[in-house]
Amino acid sequence: MIKGKWIQMKNSSIPFSLSNIKLLFSKKFIIVILISIPSAIIADYFNIPLAWMLGPMIAVSVAALVGIKVEMPKLALSTILIILGLHIGNYIDQNLINQMKDWIWTSAIMFIYILLSIFIVSKYLQKYSNYKNKTSIFSAAPGALGPLLILAEYERSDLSQVATSHLIRLIIIITIFPFFVVNFSSSEAIEIEKFDYLNQNHFDLLILIAGSLLLILLFDKIKVPAALLSGTLVASGILQITEVASYKLPEASIDYCLLILGASVGCRFADKSLNEVAKNTFHSFIATILLVILGILAALAASYFVDTNFLTLLLSFCPGGIYEVAVIAIAFNLDPNFVAFHHIIRLLMILFTVPIILRLIDKKNSFNK
C-alpha cells in the first residue's frame, strides 16, 4: 500500500487531472478539513505557537492512527506550496542576489553537516534499532523524505521504517521549534499588516502565477528538487527584480498554508499502525536529538561566516521538511529566502550524496564476497 502511494511522487508536481480534482471533494479530504479547522481554532485559543499548523497536524495524526480514513489531495498541497513560494518571492530583490555569494561557506558547512548526519545517525540506527545498512542511511538523511522513499523503494529498503523515522522527526521539529522561538527569542510571529491588498494590479498576480507554473513544469521535467517552491521562487525573483510584475498576497493566507501543511503531515500516518509508530518513536527521537545537535553545531560554525540571526541559522540547518520549515520562517520573519535557499541546497546535496554512498556500499559488499 505504501509502495503504490509513494510511487505516485514520480508524477508531475501539479497533478491537474479530473481524478485529482475529484479528490478535493472526496469524503476523506472533507473529514480532514472538518478535523483541521476546529483543532486550529482551539490551538489558537490557547495561544499555541503556529496554531494553524500544530493543531491540524496533531488532530489529523491522531485521527489517522485510530483508523479514520483521511487523505490529503496532492492538488491541494501543490496549490498551497505555490502560495508559499509567492510569499517568499516578496523578499527577493537585487540585494538578496548579491548576498548569495556570501552563502558559499554556509553551503559548504551544509555539505559537511549532511555527511556527518548520515554517518553518525545511520550507525546509531544500525546498532540500536537493528536497521539494515541502506534503510539506516535513508532514515538518517536530514530531509528529502519524498525522493528518498522513491530511492528506498528502488533499493528494496524498508519503506515503513524510513517513512516513520522521517515523519516522527518532522513532527518533533515543527512542534518544538515554534515554542523555542516564542520562549527564547524576542522574535514574534508576524502580524497582519494594514495594507490595501485590493488596491494592487491584480494582473501582476496572474503574470506571477503563469510564470511560476511554466518554471515549475520545466523544473519538474528536468528533475530539479522541490520544483513547486524553487520554480515559484525563481519566477517571482526574475519578474520582481526586472519590475515586470509584483504582488503582495494577504498575510492571512499563511494560515491556510499552515493548516494544509499541518494536516498533510497528519495524513501521512494513514497507512501506519500505533504499534509501528510506537516501535520507531524512541529511536527516532534519539536520532532527531543527534541531528539537532549536529544542526546546532553547523549553525554555530555558519555564524562565523554570515551576519545572520542565530535562529535563522538554526532553522536553516534543522532536519525538517523544506516546505514546513519555509512556512515557519515566514511566520516568524526569520529571513525566509536564506532558509529556503539552504534547504533547497540541502535537498540537492542529499539527492547527489545518498546514491554515491549506496554505490560505495554495494562495491564494498561485492568486494567482501
Q: Say if CB 279 and CB 289 are below 8 A apart.
A: no
Q: Tell whether the model's pLDDT for residue 64 goes beyond 70.
A: yes
Q: Quick one: pLDDT band at residue 146, thresholds 50, 70, 90? A: low
The mean-pLDDT minimum among 186-190, 205-209, 271-275 falls in 186-190
Q: What is the pLDDT of residue 192?
A: 45
Q: What is the mean pLDDT of the chain?
A: 82
CATH code of 210's domain = 1.20.1530
Which cell numbers hold the place of 77?
498541497
Contact 264, 72 (CB under 8 A): yes
pTM of the model: 0.74
Q: Report how far apart, in Å, the C-alpha atoms of 6 and of each of 101, 146, 149, 242 are.
A: 36, 7, 7, 39
**Would you say residue 295 lies in a domain?**
yes
pLDDT digits (tens, 9 = 90+) for 298-327: 999 999 999 888 989 999 998 877 778 888
With cut-offs at 50, 70 and 90, classify the pLDDT of residue 49: confident
Do 174 and 50 meet the contact criterion of CB atoms below 8 Å apart? yes
Q: Does the pLDDT of residue 194 top 80, yes or no? A: no
Sign (positive or negative) of CA dihedral 12, 13, 15, 16: negative
pLDDT of residue 8: 40
DSSP letter string, 323-354: HHHHHHHHHTTS-HHHHHHHHHHHHHHHHHHH
Residue whose C-alpha is closest to residue 356's, from 114, 106, 164, 131:
114
Check whether 108 has a pLDDT greater than 90.
yes
Q: What is the pLDDT of residue 95?
A: 66
Is the confidence at residue 88, as pLDDT, over 90?
no
In which band, very low, low, confident or very high, does the pLDDT at 40 lie, cut at 50, 70 and 90?
very high
Give the DSSP H or E segment for 185: none
Residue 369 lies in a domain: no
Count the neighbouring beta carbons within 10 Å of the beta carbon of residue 325.
25
pLDDT > 70? residue 335: yes
| Residue 161: inside a domain | yes
Query: Nearest to residue 110, comparing CAs of 299, 240, 307?
Result: 299
Give the pLDDT of residue 63: 93
Q: How far apart are CA 369 and CA 366, in angstroms?
A: 5
Which pLDDT value is given to residue 6?
A: 36
pLDDT score recorded for residue 298: 96
Mean pLDDT of 4-24: 64
Residue 35 has pLDDT above 90, yes or no: yes
The per-residue pLDDT for 14 is 74
Number of domains in the chain: 1
The range of the structural domain enclosing residue 119 comes to 2-364
User: Three cell numbers at 182?
Assistant: 516564542
User: What SS3 class is residue 106?
Assistant: helix
Q: Is the pLDDT of residue 350 over 90?
A: no
Greatest mean pLDDT range, 3-12, 104-113, 211-220, 224-233: 104-113
User: What are the cell numbers at 146?
Assistant: 519524498
Is 152 inside a domain boundary?
yes
